[in-house]
Structure 1
């Protein structure tokens, strides 16, 4: 039976995807006490990247913003894989966004807003978080954006 968070995803027309398998030697999410840390999540859909390239060159900022939301959805799937129930999320503590950027692109915060907005839409006040948005030269698989999150859980 789906909980309140997954019901909210359904209301938004979103489906929690399967956890993206690791591309190397790491876990998609690790729990430590009341915290879950996700590995960086790429905008994978059905096992592949729909878009590749640098934001501000091959990828528009608006496309990248949508892709950041996909990354956040994948991060929620990773959290669920570690704790079993997204209703255990007390709050999102931190979001870190990496944006593969053309040399003159400076709109990284706007791109990472896609992840922040998705988390807010799904989790309400529990989705409000601290955040970093970092421009980088390249990301795995030539992905335009990568998002990682840290969440605090309710007590067992």
Structure 2
């Protein structure tokens, strides 16, 4: 690890995971101009979901918040896979999070704070972003949370 962002990850005791392979016909991240868009990232750890089910049902809001952190870490790994160096990030522009929710669960923003806080811890002011937190009935593989990010790159 050589960059500022890599050093911050190490200081926080975090390691970028391997990029989660696509589950269907898409790429984990693509570059378009000065932006990188990630596909929705599930909270995969070593190729597996640590927990499945609905938030507010089988999964607590606190568990889901931690899973959203994992999603954000996976998203950073996807970004790095296409740009090579996370120091090239000028800022995180937008985060979109989906929470598989029990019918009476309304705490989606709190769950997505896990991803937003992780991005802030790792990237500082560059991690501050706009965000949407959406409750859904079900996510792929019965994942409780899915997160996608859009980042702007430093212009050369």
What TM-score, normalized to structure 1? 0.99
How many residue pairs were aligned?
Answer: 156
Give secondary structure in 2 for the equivalent of 1:48.
coil
Runs of 4+ in structure 1 over 6 Å off: none
Distance in 2 between residues matched to 1:2 and 1:121, nearest whole Å: 18
Aligned residue for 1:141? 141
What is the root-mean-square deviation of aligned Cα atoms in Å? 0.5
Match of 2:39 in 1: 39
Structure 2 match to 1:131: 131
Structure 2 residue runs of 5 or longer lacking an equivalent are: none
Residue 2 of structure 1 deviates from its aligned partner by 2.4
CA distances 1:108-152 after superposition (whole Å, capped 9, x unpaired) = 000000000000000000000000000000000000000000000
- 2:63 corresponds in structure 1 to 63
Deviations 1:37-64 (A, max 9, x none): 0000000000000000000000000000
Equivalence for 1:117: 117
Gaps of 5+ in 1: none
Distance 2:35 2:29 in 1: 10
SS at match of 2:99: strand
Q: What secondary structure sits across from 2:41 in the alignment?
A: coil
Paired with 1:121 and 1:65, the residues of 2 have a C-alpha distance of 15
Could you tell me how far 1:155 is from its partner in structure 2? 1.2
Q: TM-score, normalised by structure 2?
A: 0.99
